[in-house]
Structure 1
């Protein structure tokens, strides 16, 4: 944890807990799921935690949200690869947003998450889980990821001014 986090552990735990709860609600109840596609806004609490507390806070929020959501409200079989991906999503946002939250940083973070983690890594996890061809699956998921880049960039560009006003950065 960062030094600021050590000074206020109760606040850090409360914020992570709130963001995890919001991630579970948005991911499990307010998003669209199919076996190879997920559309929703569950990335927002992960991004908020990453902005507020850095890579570890973002990563923990993503991983705990995935794990708790999968255990309490399963959509399919639990697979730990997706929990790793969820951790990496939050860690990427937290790492990139340490340098600021301008358009360049938002675009960089979204590109890494959407292309590196969602398109490449999560597609690999799906091939392992469902024994399907990576080549055929990546073409299907390419549309989701490119659409996700545009939507996430736009949403984060609109949300960050609100976050900056109401959520003091800790990391």
Structure 2
């Protein structure tokens, strides 16, 4: 929580939340309930640079802010919970740790299974009164196809951030 008193951390968190909102507008629809999204990568960057607590806040702000700026459906707090948990997962696996492909893969697999495939499917089933099992199988299949793509994207982003040494910038007083 001491990080929330650091102006650099707050500034970067705000910028990442805004970027996550913008990235949330870019999606590749596959069907009514299946689509490729990339906003989670921005939340992953927040998790790696700012830690789980601040990344959770970035996820919350990006979900709520995205809804108010350009709603794509009814507001449902379950997706806000998913966005916050996304920050928690990535922060847990990536914060204050040197770049490691193994860690990136573990973080992405946990996010994909827990959030993308399971929780978000549950929220869609509740919101649109869809059969959970059939929806889960379809989304699990899509998530499995997307997983290597998201791992490569996230690894490239985090490797670039590691080379820029943004961690050192955030720790200056």
What TM-score do you get using the length of structure 2 for normalisation?
0.88
2:72 aligned with 1:78: no
Give the whole-Å Cα distance in 1 for the aligned partners of 2:155 and 2:72.
30
2:102 aligned with 1:104: yes
RMSD: 1.8
Instruction: Go from structure 1 to structure 2 and tell me whether the alpha carbon gap of 1:167 and 1:78 turns closer, same or farther (over 3 Å shift).
Output: farther
Corresponding residue for residue 41 of structure 1: 38
2:129 aligned with 1:131: yes
Give the deviation of 1:137 after TM superposition. 0.4
What TM-score do you get using the length of structure 1 for normalisation?
0.89
Give the deviation of 1:89 after TM superposition. 0.7
Give the deviation of 1:144 after TM superposition. 2.1
5+ long unaligned stretches in structure 1: none
Give the whole-Å Cα distance in 1 for the aligned partners of 2:148 and 2:71.
28
Give the whole-Å Cα distance in 1 for the aligned partners of 2:115 and 2:159.
26
Corresponding residue for residue 162 of structure 1: 160
Corresponding residue for residue 91 of structure 1: 88
Runs (4+) off by over 6 Å:
none
Q: Which moved more, 1:79-88 or 1:152-161?
A: 152-161
Give the whole-Å Cα distance in 2 for the aligned partners of 1:56 and 1:94.
8
Is the Cα–Cα contact under 8 Å of residues 92 and 113 in structure 1 kept in the other structure?
Answer: yes
